[in-house]
Structure 1
């Protein structure tokens, strides 16, 4: 059938200009090349190819009428083709595939699932703020309300904005809020953002105003003494109780753009790592500091408590780090002499206890989990490390929230004993700068209970 259509099509294209040739080609396109319903197994590719060949041949033809006909074919679709095709190609429902199952098309039958851009406003980064107010500015008059929302809530689609309207979450002062409503300059549009479904049970009211100790702050940078257990940015099950969302709650001003400050992270720290964290208040400061991290000109010092008693007073670990070959922990690292990246860690002993040593670490490179991997490689893993410590399965059980009392005794600490002690870099205005954070109270309480060496 497809071959016959090809022969007929070739004959029609080869003829001179005329209504008969155009009509025949249109019939071939409608009835043969793009039929209603699902094509048979061997014909689908041939029909699509013939469609493309026919339309390209018409467009390349010398006759202007033919070129116009080809362009029309490119834009045209046979009437009624899409609904019929959708009905013919629809997959069997779950009732047909598995008796007694719930319908696929029923929204209520499926469990609630967070949709991208709707369960968490990633551009807003403000989990506590549940309502926004926007004033219609010059140039935005005569916009439809759904268009205005799609423009102002740029991280959401227009369909998502319509859903807010359908759910009654959008208000317009003095007038009803419907999608087709044309706006006027000076009108106030209020939007209520629903609480995310992913971590609503994790957000506690007393923690909404999380305190982040400041080590330094000016018009360009903020130096944070990050507590352990607080993520630096939204990820996984923790979306709102993070450093960056707390800073957005403190510095964003949506009502006055001249006072609106958008904090941005200059670098990151692991969830369980405490210490110095630098945040930029403007784009110039962000680029200035990030370039220094990229060029490895930032001095990075850590304090870490490890298992065992090191014999030497100082040393250098120079072992390449790459992805681990075995193990169930995603993004875990290992010493890889084949594909690993060059990694160097300089250390010196600060304090000693029976069975434990506190080290001062200087990172000469910045690989993922570098300190933890290197300390484990030399036989002195970080205390409380769930991935590279005494039992690699501890992290899996911790993630599944199935740690036993025996696991907690093996860990000794609820978090890894790793602390970002100091950062040295150039401030965008003041020049050389050093930020320091002392050994944190929770680790001090642990080391105070250790037996000192005689």
Structure 2
């Protein structure tokens, strides 16, 4: 049986799925839901009705109830209308930076300053606002993702222009030979730890956890979870807010956000780890309340991958630093009366101290 075939551009995503023997006799809408589980049944039924789902050898459009059979191939086309990827804030789509900034580039490697909400490569319902797709459209060739940062997190992301360099640099991440620095803005809760501190709480995913994907956390001496370690340094203390740096020494998913929240510093804009994970579900379902917006203040968590140090190229030690993103810079000036240049100067000094 042939493998799944995919083609991407900034305009459309086309994927063809072969019907497996165990899927023989499935309804078309059931089969498409299995192929694209992150999209709603209603959205996928509309695609079938519009003729954007085709069964090989048959004339489309099809009815959602039509049966598919073993050996057939189903092609699903998704056009870039923006609707399935939009993030909403007070009922309106969040404006996006369409062009990632380039921090460093040579014939093999791209180091970009990823905008918030841009995903590393196509996944789930995020098919177009992707770093790899953006640069593949420019260079007309495959761009390889080397590591990932959360979709809402902005900042440094490394992309490879060929498989060889991608594997070589990815191995540095796997062997913990890359040092990482993050900037964040957080609320300070009563009883929060005093800076500087190192968090070593263990974390992992639990089955059937709601919301799905949320990490659970246990004390450092627990038998549950996986070892995790993040060092935190203060930049500025402004009333109920802190500006700080996080230096992760392990690479667990959501690690900085979990460690910061557990120790009394939930991030500004944090939907998952603010004490009420229902906030995340309400934003996901477009049911966020005015109180939810007031709690978050900004549409995404205030975390920025600001610096990386690694051996590249070959035996040369190098470090890259990304300027603050526009959304965080605006919030800092409007809410705390802090200039971008002032904050970036302090960040740079902390980065140089840590990476020395």
> By the TM > 0.5 criterion, same fold?
yes
- 1:300 corresponds, among 180, 184, 189, to 180
CA deviation after TM superposition for structure 1 residue 165, in Å = 7.2
Aligned residues of 1:198 and 1:237 also touching (Cα < 8 A) = no
**Against the structure 1 CA distance between its residues 201 and 371, is the aligned structure 2 distance closer, same or farther, given a 3 Å change threshold?**
closer
**Cross-structure match for 2:202:** 320
Post-superposition Cα deviations, 1:128-148, rounded to whole Å, max 9, x if no partner, equal 2689xxxxxxxxxxxxxxxxx
Query: RMSD of the TM alignment (CA)?
Result: 3.3
**Cross-structure match for 2:89:** none
**Cross-structure match for 1:263:** 143
Aligned pairs, how many? 276
**Against the structure 1 CA distance between its residues 130 and 392, is the aligned structure 2 distance closer, same or farther, given a 3 Å change threshold?**
closer
Aligned residues of 1:276 and 1:422 also touching (Cα < 8 A) = yes
Aligned residues of 2:12 and 2:78 also touching (Cα < 8 A) = no
Aligned residues of 1:208 and 1:241 also touching (Cα < 8 A) = no
**Cross-structure match for 2:270:** 385
Post-superposition Cα deviations, 1:166-219, rounded to whole Å, max 9, x if no partner, equal 669xxxxxxxxxxxxxxxxxxxxxxxx974179774489xx9993121111111
**Cross-structure match for 1:68:** none
**Cross-structure match for 2:29:** none
- 1:366 corresponds, among 237, 242, 251, to 251
Aligned residues of 2:183 and 2:245 also touching (Cα < 8 A) = yes
SS of the aligned residue for 1:196 comes to: strand
Output the CA distance in 2 between the equivalents of 1:331 and 1:290. Answer: 24
CA deviation after TM superposition for structure 1 residue 127, in Å = 4.2
Output the CA distance in 2 between the equivalents of 1:368 and 1:201. Answer: 27
- 1:289 corresponds, among 163, 169, 188, to 169
**Cross-structure match for 1:439:** 324
Query: Which structure shows the higher strand fraction?
Result: 2
Output the CA distance in 2 between the equivalents of 1:130 and 1:293. Answer: 30
Post-superposition Cα deviations, 1:262-283, rounded to whole Å, max 9, x if no partner, equal 1011001111100000000001
- 1:238 corresponds, among 119, 126, 130, to 126
TM-score (norm 2): 0.69
Post-superposition Cα deviations, 1:354-377, rounded to whole Å, max 9, x if no partner, equal 100011111100001101111111
**Against the structure 1 CA distance between its residues 295 and 408, is the aligned structure 2 distance closer, same or farther, given a 3 Å change threshold?**
same
TM-score (norm 1): 0.55
Aligned residues of 2:85 and 2:125 also touching (Cα < 8 A) = no
Aligned residues of 2:308 and 2:320 also touching (Cα < 8 A) = yes
Aligned residues of 1:322 and 1:334 also touching (Cα < 8 A) = yes
Q: Greater CA radius of gyration, 1 or 2?
A: 1
